[in-house]
Structure 1
């Protein structure tokens, strides 16, 4: 949902924006699941989050920039709490999750930094759009 909003130029900072916003690239999410399956001795939860901890404001701005846009909207916490109720807690308070177990056992992230992950996604999207246009022109 945030990607669509950012793509449309409606990127927004939620609440005060200082709350932690864990993220992970799909490649690493799958990689972490495979890593956990290959290392049955892992104890406790394996957080599928990137090691590059960012705030919600940083995430919103970086996502918007990846679409050549700005996150210019601010959505205060009160309306979000009124509309979403308890579900707003994760958006407004965040969760400071880190991949300690995976890193401790040697998992190497393909996309450890938000900027690199978003750049790769933007490149993939551009390539896919180009392929779709080329296919359309051939039909």
Structure 2
């Protein structure tokens, strides 16, 4: 029983740490002018249209569950943190490349307009690092 209490306490502390890191990363992204709008809902999602079209068979959903509203995060804090960190890292690498006169325009295009070898953020980051020599 005591072990369960310790685990619950650790989970709360871990969640708070993730939320703090997320807040810090969001602040950095805003400071750098990085657009994060796509990580948030841009409309109020009707309760009967989410997540599966109606509430039938949703007895697994907590009783206090509410459909997302405009401005709510699309992802849980852990995934949001990863998304925002990736954007901040890409920004920093792009900035380093620009400062050193290294052209990365060929891989700095939206994915829906891109056809090529660097089709993930990770591949793009690796290529920027390669071009930077790091």
What is the TM-score normalised by the length of structure 1? 0.27
* Greater C-alpha radius of gyration: 2
**RCO comparison, higher one (Cα < 8 Å, 6+):** 1
Higher strand share: 1
